[in-house]
Amino acid sequence: MNTLAIDIGGTKLSLALFEKERIAARLTRPTDRAGGPEWMLGHIEQAVHDWKFEGCGVGFGGPVDFARQRIALSTHVAGWSGFPLVERLKATLGVKVVIDNDANAGALGEARYGAGRGKLPLFYLTLSTGIGGGIVLAGGSVYRGADSWAGEVGHIALDPDGPVCLCGARGCFERLCSGLWLERDYGKPASELLQDPAFVVRYVVHLAQGLKAAIMLLNPASIVIGGGIAQAGERLFSPLRAELRRQVTSWSQARLDLVPAELGNDSVLWGALALAGTTSGVG
Amino acid sequence: MNTLAIDIGGTKLSLALFEKERIAARLTRPTDRAGGPEWMLGHIEQAVHDWKFEGCGVGFGGPVDFARQRIALSTHVAGWSGFPLVERLKATLGVKVVIDNDANAGALGEARYGAGRGKLPLFYLTLSTGIGGGIVLAGGSVYRGADSWAGEVGHIALDPDGPVCLCGARGCFERLCSGLWLERDYGKPASELLQDPAFVVRYVVHLAQGLKAAIMLLNPASIVIGGGIAQAGERLFSPLRAELRRQVTSWSQARLDLVPAELGNDSVLWGALALAGTTSGVG
């Protein structure tokens, strides 16, 4: 069976055609923020025109109501709140479509095909324009909580007196550590900032504080970090592991198995492949 | 079937004899800290001498390795690290014994018999000498993570520059909000401090920050607060709910259903009853 996988992020749109579990074709392009959902739908329709597939999975860069298969909110990707994406894609593509937020999709991708294989429960952190989290339980299913809002680690408060986040609260993990805010606060993209070891040493303090909350609550067998910022590699991971070991004292015997996403930029696409094979609230 | 339920806490030992799902007899007394585990075993043996039961569940006030049925660590209850409690109780009582930490037991008790009935997944916070957390999944089972260390919300960092906790880290939720530290920091027991509305308004800021981490990550259908401090009632819960609504902005559509433990002081005993009926790692 062939599957269309779609990753709708804050800065880019990625499409992949899977033949079973192999990427047979792919397209990536920057998001046209001004164009909004109509631009994106048109682009998808045109791009996949000669691709053959029987199902479609979508990872979306914002909260998704999984039971209702609806976009719940769009903070980073403007103009999507209330947009009937699943219905429109079904009508356009003529196949079953399953959507989830990109952090849940990334978590599922890494759990099934990447760094989390055989290491469940897994906590996946996407460190990108925004910050999201996804939890995959020991049985291999995504933990979504009562209202599909589980995993929203980006909005735990690291500093209640800190600067105001897009969500309206102060000192959120996302406000202090995400790519969007790093660039606004320091005037340079995260990729440049992370070239500076002195910056990294300060940055990982908040990053470890946020991860520690997930570790204390979830005691995952693996912690997988994806998203653009994770691509900094050992320049980031080595100081981050050291800081985590400092903050998570020997009192806790929870393991600290912190690794970069094995599927790199493609965790969400692989997760979308897995999603396409699941039973969702509205099919 | 009759069950012996035991709650070993930092300040008190409670025993209950359940006839099916009814408490037929009970005993509670302050912990003799100097006496340690040998005193406690002797006391249990003597107390239950003429009680008839076929199983035993134990909630212990510290981390428990559930798979191995062993006390992993004792911070608040001295002298217990490495003590073979389950083996000794089995030898003494002649029945199957299942142990878990008291927060997991309290969560299970509230999920099955208390405030969490029909409202899963549940997050249970015990606000007492220390602070612990327990997670019950939608299917009714306790989420314990990879190494039995899940739910340890007491050791997330609310203030990485804050005072040092018993675990060695700085500014833990437990360091800032637990009964032990409130009394050390302010020279009065929590029950007295919470009589002062001006104190409560400051106290709930950290309390809400800790709960918010659990809400963002877990999106529970119910949040149940047990332990001695929760007995302050609406004097605490009303300001706490207001502060939570302030910190958890309308951005999040996760529900905020915050209630006191319905089983009051007995959440752990009812959880111990439920534990006695489960299959543990070593039976």
In this predicted structure, the answer to whether residue A256 has a pLDDT above a threshold of 80 is yes
Complex ipTM > 0.90: yes
**Structural domains of chain A ordered from first start:** 2-104+266-276 (3.30.420.40), 116-262 (3.30.420.40)
**pLDDT computed for residue A281 by the predictor:** 46
* A148 DSSP 8-state letter: S
pTM score, whole prediction: 0.95
Looking at chain A from residue 37 to 56, which residues have their Cβ under 8 Å from any Cβ of chain B? none
In this predicted structure, the answer to whether residue A203 has a pLDDT above a threshold of 50 is yes
Taking the C-alpha atoms of residue A131 and residue A229, their distance in angstroms, rounded to an integer, is 10
Query: Cβ contacts (< 8 Å) between B250 and chain A: which residues?
Result: 168
In 10 A of CB A187, how many CB atoms?
9
**pLDDT computed for residue A157 by the predictor:** 97
Chain mean position to CA B181 = 17
Task: Please give the average per-residue pLDDT across B36-42, as a whole number.
Answer: 89
Residue A272: name the closest of A71, A76, A110 by CA: A110
Chain A contact probe: residue of B64, B155, B248 with most A CBs at under 10 A? B155
Kindly determine whether residue A212 and residue B156, on different chains, have CB atoms separated by under 8 Å: yes
Kindly determine whether residue A248 and residue B160, on different chains, have CB atoms separated by under 8 Å: no
Q: Is B145 on the interface with A (CB under 8 A)?
A: yes
pLDDT digits (tens, 9 = 90+) for B255-268: 999 999 999 999 99
Q: Is B251 on the interface with A (CB under 8 A)?
A: yes
Looking at chain A from residue 83 to 112, which residues have their Cβ under 8 Å from any Cβ of chain B? none
**pLDDT computed for residue B280 by the predictor:** 60
In this predicted structure, the answer to whether residue A282 has a pLDDT above a threshold of 60 is no
Kindly determine whether residue A169 and residue B220, on different chains, have CB atoms separated by under 8 Å: no
In this predicted structure, the answer to whether residue B282 has a pLDDT above a threshold of 70 is no
In this predicted structure, the answer to whether residue A142 has a pLDDT above a threshold of 50 is yes
Looking at chain B from residue 172 to 211, which residues have their Cβ under 8 Å from any Cβ of chain A? 205, 209
**pLDDT computed for residue B76 by the predictor:** 63
In this predicted structure, the answer to whether residue A197 has a pLDDT above a threshold of 60 is yes
DSSP, residue by residue, B139-179: TSPBP--SSS-TT-GGGSBS-TTSPBPTTS-BSBHHHHHSH
Sign of the CA dihedral running A193, A199, A201, A206: negative
| Tokens of residue B199, six digits | 């104190």
